[in-house]
Amino acid sequence: MPKFGLFFILAKFLYILFGNIFYVWSPLLYALGIASIIIGSVGGLNQTSFLRLLAYSTITDMGYVTIALSYGDFFGLHASITYFLIHTLSSITVFFFLASVHTNDNYSLFNSIYDFSFLKTQNHVRLTPLIAMISYMSIPPLAGFLGKTYIFGILMAHGEYLTLLVLCMAFSASLFFYSRIIRNLLFQSEYHFAPFIDSEELSQVDLFIVAALNIFFIILTNHFMIYTVDLTQYFLVTL
């Protein structure tokens, strides 16, 4: 919510107060967006701390939002809102999972990406981080694929092929550090932990919300564009 408030204020300043000097702030936002994507993608390559990995992922995602916003038109604003909401939903899923799952001895899990290796035997809880990571990797049919495809399409429409090549290379780097988490979820076992609580001990509310988030991610791409177009139009009217 704080990031969305800052995003709203930034768009208001750019589109209203500084709309007449678009040629000044557009290249600046564009350069900041590219730098954020490169820094976030490269910086996350050697990270083993899960929370630091999420921080670099956020830097990368805000870079995509900034690039879309730098075009200063309806499609750029729509793409930035769409990507921003997808990033927010992915983050909610991840952090809800972190808050819901624990061990019998209250061991502090997920300080490291290798902690996910224990979930290989916990089928009732590993689906949530798996779906979230696949969405972060922008693999269809989940929503993350829609967000990046839209921004890449805008770059192609404006003939920014060199930028598109740079972003594809940075995107390939980010795929690597997301895939390490998936590898630990599905294949690799690095450490031994105290056992998780049994699924029967998870509250019904926890299980319901986890299942609802999973289902929501699967069906999200079918209707998301319609809702975000209406939201963008409302956003411009309120500006």
pLDDT, tens digit (0-9, with 9 covering 90-100), for 153-167: 889 888 889 999 988
Give the pLDDT mean for 118-131: 69
Confidence of residue 31 (pLDDT cuts 50, 70, 90): very high
For 61, how many CA atoms within 13 A lie in the half-sphere containing its CB? 25
Give the pLDDT mean for 6-16: 81
List helix spans (H) across the chain: 2-12, 22-43, 50-69, 74-100, 123-136, 143-157, 161-186, 204-238
Query: Is 196 a residue whose pLDDT tops 50?
Result: no
Question: What pLDDT, in 10s, does the model give residues 65-109?
Answer: 999 889 888 888 888 888 888 887 777 777 777 776 665 555 556
- The pLDDT value given to residue 64: 92
> What mean pLDDT value characterizes the chain?
76
Give the pLDDT mean for 7-31: 84
Confidence of residue 37 (pLDDT cuts 50, 70, 90): very high
Please choose, from the candidates 65, 90, 92, the residue with its C-alpha nearest in 3D space to the C-alpha of residue 76: 65
Confidence of residue 52 (pLDDT cuts 50, 70, 90): confident
Peptide bond into 129 cis (omega under 30): no
Cβ–Cβ contacts within 10 Å for residue 23, how many? 8
Pair 116, 181: CB distance under 8 Å: yes
- The pLDDT value given to residue 195: 42
- With 0.75 as the threshold, say if the pTM is over it: yes
Confidence of residue 197 (pLDDT cuts 50, 70, 90): very low
Confidence of residue 198 (pLDDT cuts 50, 70, 90): very low
